């Protein structure tokens, strides 16, 4: 943080502790929403809600939308329902839903009770959808016009409701019939460039691309990537318009999903730990993962126990076992990372299992051979035993192929059967590569024991 920003933060914190709300509001209001959010996120947790409550609800809402979801929810949890509702009412419907999902059902309902009944009904409807679906990403703010209008009438409608629509993410008009069934999607550019007497129905070209609220978020992201729309309408089974999903929200979902998947691979279940969380919650989140790993490691170690006599006869093998395990694990984790990234970005699907397997085997053959030759030469030089080098090098080569194959396809298999690949791929990969590596080394060494001793 730059020195001037640190000075602003120190001043803001001092003013909050002295309860000088007018001065706090003046500092935050003088900043744009993103800069003010940066100041608030660096405040101590107990002061963040105090800072937001010094502001007008619409200003606080703008800042809250710029904060990460978990920090925004933490700030709102420390507020009374009334003030929190006043801020929530100034936010877009999809942002309100994100916030309510994060604060928990009890606090969310308390906030909804203080919101305008019509807006509360919309929020409750959106909360019914899975947060990772099109319905969960949907916002209820869009511009709806009658399909019977002309371009001039549509423009007049926009001008009449300019104050309301100014807050919308408006790139298109959505034309509906008398029963609110979607009949046309018109870009604002097309509307402004045609004659005022042109019927709305004649401005449209091409088919209507729409989605149902149950569509998975990753499928929705793929749709945006294929068609490059700025927004896509969400409809029910009878084509009645429910809302829209913007490109910005879909891409943010893709980025957050990819980040959570990569964090999950490090051993943080769900990828959602932050150090401001309660100690018990953080400890349990990690411990639940590590406890499973103990059992899996015991399973892998049982292979070593089975070949104790071979290890006693050739002690040098014990030096190379962890090297083979670690190098194979690293190769496998590279494959896992690529598969999870491509799944998150919609570049591959579980149906491409054989294609991924072929790609990974080809990499494993080359990389495993190079690594195997290197470690084999080291073993040969160290123990002056060519057979030892052949056993160690060959084992690393074969196990590298096994590791990248498992690492490439396990995330796809887990996704196909409805499991989170980021959480489960790591333990499966580690156990399989350890067991295979130990078995290949010790089994081969046992077979050629007379040449090794």
**What is the rounded CA–CA span in Å between residue 293 and residue 132?**
29
49 confidence band (pLDDT: 50, 70, 90): confident
What are the tokens at 394?
């060959």
Of the chain, the percentage scoring pLDDT greater than 90 comes to 22
269 confidence band (pLDDT: 50, 70, 90): very low
Torsions phi, psi for 176 (to 5 deg): -130, 160
What Cα–Cα distance (Å) separates residue 211 from each residue in 123, 173, 392?
20, 17, 55
Of the candidate ranges 59-63, 133-137, 269-273, the one whose mean pLDDT is the lowest:
269-273
Q: What is the pLDDT of residue 376?
A: 92
Please name every residue paired with 245 in a beta bridge, in sequence order, or none if there are none.
232
> Is the predicted pLDDT of residue 315 greater than 50, yes or no?
yes
> Is the predicted pLDDT of residue 60 greater than 50, yes or no?
yes
DSSP 186-251: EEHHHHHHS-TT-BHHHH--SPPP-B-TTSBHHHHHHHHHHH--SEEEEE-TT-BEEEEEEHHHHH
Region class of 184: left (phi > 0), else alpha (psi between -120 and 50), else beta: beta
Task: Select the CATH number that applies to the domain covering 143-250 from these four: 3.40.50.720, 3.10.580.10, 3.40.50.620, 1.10.1040.10.
Answer: 3.10.580.10
State the maximum Cα–Cα separation within the chain, in Å, rounded to a whole number.
95
Average pLDDT of the chain is: 83
Q: What is the pLDDT of residue 4?
A: 64
Higher pLDDT, 169 or 412: 412
- The answer to pTM > 0.85 is no
Of the candidate ranges 86-95, 124-133, 199-208, the one whose mean pLDDT is the lowest:
199-208
What Cα–Cα distance (Å) separates residue 258 from each residue in 265, 367, 418?
11, 26, 17
Q: What is the pLDDT of residue 261?
A: 61
Higher pLDDT, 382 or 290: 382
CATH for the stretch 3-128: 1.25.60.10
CATH for the stretch 269-452: 1.10.357.20
1 confidence band (pLDDT: 50, 70, 90): very low
Question: Is residue 158 a contact partner of residue 144, using CB atoms and an 8 Å limit?
Answer: no
Q: What is the pLDDT of residue 12?
A: 85
Q: What is the pLDDT of residue 359?
A: 93
Q: What is the pLDDT of residue 2?
A: 45
Cα angle, residue 308 at apex, residues 307 and 310 outer, rounded to 5°: 70
Domain residue ranges of the chain, discontinuous segments joined by +: 3-128, 143-250, 269-452
> pLDDT, tens digit, for every residue of 88-126?
888 888 888 888 888 888 888 899 999 888 888 888 988
**What is the rounded CA–CA span in Å between residue 98 and residue 427?**
31
Higher pLDDT, 211 or 293: 211
**What is the rounded CA–CA span in Å between residue 174 and residue 248?**
19
**Secondary structure of 285-297 in the HEC alphabet?**
HHHHHHHHHHHHH
> pLDDT, tens digit, for every residue of 384-418?
888 888 999 999 999 999 999 999 999 898 888 87
Question: Is residue 342 a contact partner of residue 355, using CB atoms and an 8 Å limit?
Answer: no
Average pLDDT estimate for 354-364: 93
449 confidence band (pLDDT: 50, 70, 90): low
Question: Is residue 415 a contact partner of residue 343, using CB atoms and an 8 Å limit?
Answer: yes
441 confidence band (pLDDT: 50, 70, 90): confident
Q: What is the pLDDT of residue 272?
A: 52
**What is the rounded CA–CA span in Å between residue 39 and residue 51?**
10
Average pLDDT estimate for 337-343: 84
Pairing of strands 231-235, 241-246: antiparallel
User: What are the CB-based long-range contacts (under 8 Å, 24+) for 295-300?
Assistant: 296/427, 296/430, 296/431, 297/430, 297/431, 297/434, 299/431, 299/435, 300/430, 300/431, 300/434, 300/435, 300/438
Region class of 138: left (phi > 0), else alpha (psi between -120 and 50), else beta: beta
Q: What is the pLDDT of residue 292?
A: 67
**What is the rounded CA–CA span in Å between residue 402 and residue 396?**
10
> Is the predicted pLDDT of residue 378 greater than 80, yes or no?
yes
Q: What is the pLDDT of residue 268?
A: 44
What are the tokens at 226?
């294929």
């Amino acid at each position: 943080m730059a020195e001037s920003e640190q000075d602003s933060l120190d001043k803001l914190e001092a003013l909050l502790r002295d309860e000088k709300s007018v001065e706090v509001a003046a500092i935050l209001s003088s900043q744009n929403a993103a800069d003010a959010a940066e100041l608030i996120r660096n405040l101590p947790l107990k002061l963040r809600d105090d800072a937001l409550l010094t502001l007008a609800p619409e200003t606080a809402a703008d800042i809250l939308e710029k904060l990460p979801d978990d920090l925004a929810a933490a700030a709102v949890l420390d507020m009374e329902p009334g003030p929190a509702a006043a801020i929530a009412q100034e936010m877009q419907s999809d942002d309100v839903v994100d916030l309510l999902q994060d604060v928990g059902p009890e606090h969310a309902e308390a906030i909804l009770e203080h919101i305008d009944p019509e807006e509360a009904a919309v929020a409750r409807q959106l909360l019914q959808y899975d947060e990772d679906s099109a319905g969960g990403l949907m916002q209820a703010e869009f511009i709806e016009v009658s399909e019977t209008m002309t371009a001039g009438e549509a423009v007049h409608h926009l001008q009449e409701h300019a104050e309301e629509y100014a807050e919308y993410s408006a790139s298109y008009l959505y034309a509906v019939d008398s029963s609110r069934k979607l009949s046309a999607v018109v870009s604002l550019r097309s509307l402004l460039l045609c004659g005022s007497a042109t019927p709305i129905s004649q401005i449209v070209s091409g088919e209507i691309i729409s989605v149902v609220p149950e569509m998975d978020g990753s499928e929705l992201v793929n749709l945006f990537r294929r068609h490059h729309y700025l927004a896509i309408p969400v409809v029910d089974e009878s084509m009645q318009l429910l809302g829209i999903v913007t490109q910005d929200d879909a891409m943010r979902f893709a980025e957050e999903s990819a980040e959570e998947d990569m964090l999950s691979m490090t051993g943080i279940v769900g990828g959602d730990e932050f150090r401001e969380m309660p100690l018990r919650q953080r400890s349990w989140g990690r411990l639940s993962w590590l406890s499973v790993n103990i059992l899996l490691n015991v399973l892998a170690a049982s292979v070593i126990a089975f070949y104790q006599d071979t290890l006693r006869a050739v002690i040098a093998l014990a030096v190379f076992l962890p090297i083979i395990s670690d190098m194979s694990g690293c190769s496998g984790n590279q494959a896992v990372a690529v598969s999870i990234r491509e799944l998150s970005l919609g570049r591959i699907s579980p149906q491409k299992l054989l294609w991924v397997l072929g790609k990974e085997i080809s990499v494993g053959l080359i990389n495993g051979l190079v690594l195997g030759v290197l470690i084999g030469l080291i073993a040969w030089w160290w123990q002056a035993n060519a057979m030892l080098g052949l056993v160690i090098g060959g084992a690393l080569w074969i196990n590298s192929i096994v590791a990248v194959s498992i690492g490439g396809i396990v995330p796809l298999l887990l996704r196909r059967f409805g499991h989170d690949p980021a959480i489960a791929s790591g333990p499966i990969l580690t156990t399989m590569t350890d067991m295979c590596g130990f078995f290949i080394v010790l089994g081969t060494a046992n077979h050629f024991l007379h040449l090794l001793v």
